[in-house]
Amino acid sequence: MTHSAKTTGPGQPNPTPWSRALGVAVALSVVAGLILLLFAWPAVTAVPQNLPVGVVGDDAQVTQVEATVAEKADGAIALTRYDSRDDAVAAIERRESYGAIVLGASPTDAPEILTASAASPTVAQMLDELAHSMQAAIDEQIRSAVETQITAAQQDAAARVQSILEAVRSGQTPQIPESAPSASVQIPVVTVTVTDIVPFAASDPRGVGLGVALFPLVLGGLAVGIVSTLVVRGSAVRRVTTVVVAAVGAGLVLAGILQGLFGALQGSFWLNAAACAATIAAIAATVTGFAGLLGPAGVGVGAVFTMLLANPLSAAAIPVEFLVRPWGAIGQWLPPGAGATLLRSLSYFPDAATAQQWIVLLVWAAGGLALTLVDLPARRLRAGQTAAEHPLTVTYRRRLFAMLY
């Protein structure tokens, strides 16, 4: 009995050795773990730190509130004093503060907690819990005051009875007042109120649509950058043109869906479309810019940089102050973070300063497109050949077409 050995046919590649296949499997397992760590680390380690919250009241009241917040908030809240409720509201509308504590002029005046759920539902919930804590403290003070009044009334009544009894024993006519003193106890009603200064729109009452709006922008920007690098042939000017035109078109489409269909975005449609286009262009230009420096490998570098570093640091779903310092601030200088902050401000905070976000997006877009035009890999090849004709690019393009078609 004979056994025939398995051989590869003419032109067919030799099979991958088992040792290499297993090594690749182990490496991919490690990579999967690293991806999870990079993507989930900012959210897992998120802790509120120095959240800006305003306070309105006199010196004694503010001092008492500062002591209470320092004891209970454990560094989560940083209080800023404002002269009036109107000043506190203006600061919230400019996104300089997440909320405010407005104290009454007298002890019987009810405090008011100002929130802005559109800025952060998480912080709004924290301030709502603070209102409940303040209400419990006020109720305890009222209960103690009422008990004091009752005790004083009982002592007064007992003293009067004792005076009458002593007068009777001594044979004197007791002095009985024509009307008995009022024994009623005054119980003040003080209720802490919570006012949402900037709530979410009725079309997106929980802000879910706004929270996930960044994800299609990131994916859209990566798709534009990757396809422009691996599919568009010819000079670098063609890739730059593709990025610009695709970003403008995608910005209009995504803004139309997010605002017109889902109601996740508010305010001016054209400003929202411009913000979407700028975000997509900045992310796409990051990919094409890395490719302009490194060749086809730059596509992977740009994608990893955007998905595993810039996107987790964007603070799209949580406040910037929740991220470990200085990563939250760094994330705002990257395209996803700037885009998420810009869309939230344009939708709900028209008085907020947005110059930084526009500048960040435009600088990343312009810088990436400039590096795309530099096209260093093409300069290392023969004259007239660009990175799109690089052998590795051709291979990636063929594989992409194979997957698509």
pLDDT tens column, 273-288: 999 999 999 999 999 9
The rounded distance, in Å, linking the Cα atoms of 186 and 355 is 55
| Residue 2 pLDDT level (bands cut at 50, 70, 90) | very low
The pLDDT assigned to 325 comes to: 85
Of the residues 148, 164, 196, which one is the last residue of a structural domain? Answer: 196
Percent of the chain with pLDDT over 70: 78
Mean pLDDT, residues 26-30: 87
Long-range contacts of 391-400 (CB under 8 A, 24+ apart): 392/295, 392/296, 392/297, 393/229, 393/230, 393/295, 393/296, 396/230, 396/296, 396/299, 397/230, 397/231, 400/227, 400/230, 400/231
Of the residues 136, 165, 196, which one is the last residue of a structural domain? Answer: 196
**Residues 237 and 377 reside in one and the same domain:** yes
pTM: 0.78
**Residues 237 and 350 reside in one and the same domain:** yes
**The total number of structural domains that make up the chain:** 2
User: 203: which 2 tokens?
Assistant: 């079309």
Max distance between CA atoms of the chain, in angstroms, equals 139
Q: By three-state DSSP, how is residue 75 classified?
A: coil
Is residue 390 over pLDDT 80? no
**Residues 180 and 213 reside in one and the same domain:** no
The pLDDT assigned to 93 comes to: 96
Q: Is 29 domain-assigned?
A: no
**Residues 222 and 181 reside in one and the same domain:** no
Domain extent at residue 373 = 208-404
Task: Give the mean pLDDT of the chain.
Answer: 83
pLDDT in tens, 73-87: 778 888 999 999 999
Q: Is 42 domain-assigned?
A: no
Q: By three-state DSSP, how is residue 115 classified?
A: strand
**Residues 373 and 232 reside in one and the same domain:** yes
The pLDDT assigned to 41 comes to: 79
The pLDDT assigned to 284 comes to: 97
Mean pLDDT, residues 105-115: 81
Better-predicted residue by pLDDT, 2 or 294: 294
**Residues 223 and 361 reside in one and the same domain:** yes
Q: Is 21 domain-assigned?
A: no
Q: Is 9 domain-assigned?
A: no
User: 302: which 2 tokens?
Assistant: 């740009």
Q: Is 374 domain-assigned?
A: yes
**Residues 183 and 216 reside in one and the same domain:** no
Q: Is 274 domain-assigned?
A: yes
**Residues 137 and 227 reside in one and the same domain:** no
User: 212: which 2 tokens?
Assistant: 């996930």
